[in-house]
């Protein structure tokens, strides 16, 4: 089968460019489910890349569920279905990537908090309160509170009782953990930041405990907005040192 593939450009990942080009053909329907891809040798010529690059691209396409290898027959396109969530921040600056992921959190966390306020049980309230206390103790003990922060937000998500939201948050966890490490590390450098975060968590908890849906939504959104402001106000030295290192997983092409 002849496909309109062109040589890829140097500078960015060659295998990613190849995979993206083939994926576009599959998702557009020009390469229909069941159609065989050109041979490895033909693809190396069309894209002007090595066989290793082609194999890496095919491996990525397999992980996305877009192609299937049949021993002795070749590689065949599969039904594209829904495109999977794909966060590629490798071209973003580390600071920008962190801000963008906090923006994603803002949309989710605000709704999660609102649902938690309307659905929480006494057991949920106890769990969230325990998480708040554990986070406070971790900070007082000189820790960054990353694990405790994650548990606090997870306790709220559990109280929302929406398995789809929880599933989305779990999927995003690989990215959110990196963001939390950055924001907590930045906040730990200044006592005013640390106190502000503690106050914001208390406001979220109080709104959920009282069953105030609007207040919970606003408090959670404000918490994320303030997290962005704290990132913007971070000492430049933070980004030159630990900030860049902690943000590296966000800008290394996670897919």
Task: Give the pLDDT confidence of 98-150 residue by residue, as tens digits.
Answer: 788 888 889 999 999 999 999 999 999 999 999 999 988 887 887 767 778 88
For residues 101, 240, 251, 163, the Cα torsion angle rounded to the nearest 10 degrees is: -30
Any domain includes 84:
no
Check whether 44 has a pLDDT greater than 80: yes
35 and 109, same structural domain? no
- By the 8 A CB rule, do 208 and 156 touch? yes
pLDDT at 10: 72
Instruction: For residues 47 and 173, state if they share a domain.
Output: no
- Range with top average pLDDT, 35-39, 55-59, 198-202, 215-219: 215-219
**CATH code of the domain covering residue 190:** 1.20.120.530
For helices 94-119 and 191-210, give the axis angle rounded to 10 degrees.
Answer: 30
Q: Which domain holds residue 21?
A: 14-77
Residue 161 and residue 72 share a domain = no
Whether residue 100 sits in one domain with residue 72 = no
pLDDT greater at residue 179 or residue 255: 179
State mean pLDDT over 151-163: 93
Q: How far apart are CA 93 and CA 202, in angstroms?
A: 32
Structural contact between residues 237 and 168, judged by C-beta atoms closer than 8 angstroms: no
């Amino acid at each position: 089968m002849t496909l309109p593939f062109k040589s890829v450009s140097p500078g960015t990942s060659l295998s990613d460019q190849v995979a993206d080009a083939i994926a576009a053909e599959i998702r557009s329907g020009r390469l229909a489910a069941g159609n065989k891809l050109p041979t490895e040798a033909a693809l190396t010529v069309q894209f002007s890349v090595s066989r290793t690059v082609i194999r890496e691209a095919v491996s990525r396409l397999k992980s996305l569920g877009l192609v299937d290898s049949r021993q002795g027959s070749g590689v065949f396109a599969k039904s594209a279905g829904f495109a999977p969530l794909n966060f590629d921040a490798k071209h973003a600056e580390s600071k920008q990537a962190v801000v963008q992921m906090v923006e994603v959190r803002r949309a989710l966390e605000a709704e999660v908090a609102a649902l938690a306020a309307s659905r929480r049980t006494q057991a949920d309230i106890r769990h969230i309160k325990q998480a708040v206390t554990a986070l406070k103790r971790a900070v007082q003990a000189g820790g960054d509170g990353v694990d405790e922060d994650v548990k606090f937000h997870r306790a709220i998500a559990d109280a929302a009782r929406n398995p789809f939201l929880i599933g989305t948050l779990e999927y995003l966890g690989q990215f959110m953990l990196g963001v939390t490490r950055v924001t907590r590390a930045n906040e730990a450098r200044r006592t005013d930041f640390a106190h502000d975060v503690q106050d914001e968590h208390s406001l979220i908890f109080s709104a959920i405990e009282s069953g105030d849906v609007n207040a919970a939504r606003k408090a959670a959104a404000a918490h994320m907005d303030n997290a962005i402001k704290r990132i913007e106000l971070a000492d430049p030295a933070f980004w030159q040192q630990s900030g860049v290192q902690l943000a590296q997983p966000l800008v290394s092409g996670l897919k």
